[in-house]
């Protein structure tokens, strides 16, 4: 397997380091959606969601397509969906430790 540059890895992980971005990814995990649908799903505001979608696209986690006046967003591929699922699996094992950790608080 190719060795990934640590700075590139950190930029990628940055896409997962924000509550709103994780909520967006979870919203898109199964279906593509418009910004308005995502806003409704996670009870956010459109400007904020759009900014986070831009970050997620920049990190390669989300892609979009235009259809008429609507832009549809989706998780990039099955590997990203698998990653989101794997995070849940790992958290099942370490959830109590993570919940008690006071070093990584926003």
pLDDT of residue 105: 60
Q: Where are the alpha helices (DSSP H) in the chain?
A: 6-14, 19-28, 35-42, 46-58, 78-100
How many CB atoms are located within 10 Å of the residue 20 CB? Answer: 18
Per-residue pLDDT of 41-89, as tens digits, reads 999 999 999 999 999 999 899 999 999 999 999 999 999 999 999 999 9
pTM above 0.85, yes or no: yes
Q: Which CATH number is correct for 6-100, 1.10.10.10, 1.10.760.10, 1.10.1040.10, 1.25.40.10?
A: 1.10.10.10
Q: Is the pLDDT of residue 106 over 60?
A: no
Q: Is the pLDDT of residue 15 over 90?
A: no
């Amino acid at each position: 397997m190719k060795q990934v540059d640590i700075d590139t890895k950190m930029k990628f992980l940055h896409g997962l380091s924000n509550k709103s971005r994780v909520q967006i990814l979870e919203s898109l995990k199964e279906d593509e959606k418009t910004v308005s649908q995502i806003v409704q799903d996670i009870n956010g505001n459109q400007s904020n969601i759009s900014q986070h979608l831009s970050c997620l696209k920049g990190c390669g986690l989300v892609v979009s397509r235009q259809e008429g006046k609507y832009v549809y967003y989706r998780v990039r591929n099955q590997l990203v969906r698998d990653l989101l699922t794997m995070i849940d699996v790992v958290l099942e094992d370490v959830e109590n430790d993570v919940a008690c950790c006071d070093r990584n608080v926003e």
